[in-house]
Amino acid sequence: MEESTERKASTATANQDIVNNRKRKPIDDHEVTGAGQITTRQSILPVALVTILFFMWGFAYGLLDVLNSHFQSVLNISQGKSGGLQAAYFGAYFIGPLTYSGWIVRRFGYRWAFIFGLCVYGVGALMFWPSGVKRS
């Protein structure tokens, strides 16, 4: 076996070259990106919408414990019974992929599965609204 006498550039040097090349290039709003063939300016709206959606999901998750404690005091239920709220919230992550979402991804694609999930999320929020407005 022959050994190669050439030395390979270190990873640090290669990474530094990539960083330097990125720093030198000005951003062009008309340059087409690789993801979906849209320009940088056109990608601002989709990125902003996805950022807002993730913020809303995180906000809903943050409210879960607050709602849980209020349900305990207002409805006079035990901690075990109010744990059903968290079981329903996190159980959907297990049940969803096993039931409808896998079929939707195979049949219609990832985008429609994402849209369907948002619609289910919205319907759940709309179903909660009357119960939040009117006490029984």
| Banded pLDDT at 136 (limits 50, 70, 90) | low
* Residue 28 pLDDT: 61
* Residue 36 pLDDT: 61
CA 61 to the chain's CA centroid = 12
Measure the CA–CA gap between 7 and 132, rounded to whole angstroms. 69
* 62-116 pLDDT, tens digit each: 888 888 888 888 888 888 888 887 888 788 778 877 787 788 888 888 888 888 8
* 3-22 pLDDT, tens digit each: 555 555 555 565 566 656 65
Measure the CA–CA gap between 76 and 131, rounded to whole angstroms. 16
Angle CA 68–75–133, to nearest 5:
80
Contact 104, 116 (CB under 8 A): yes
- The pair of structure tokens assigned to 94 is 């297990």
Half-sphere exposure of 107 (CA within 13 A, CB side): 7
pTM strictly above 0.75: no
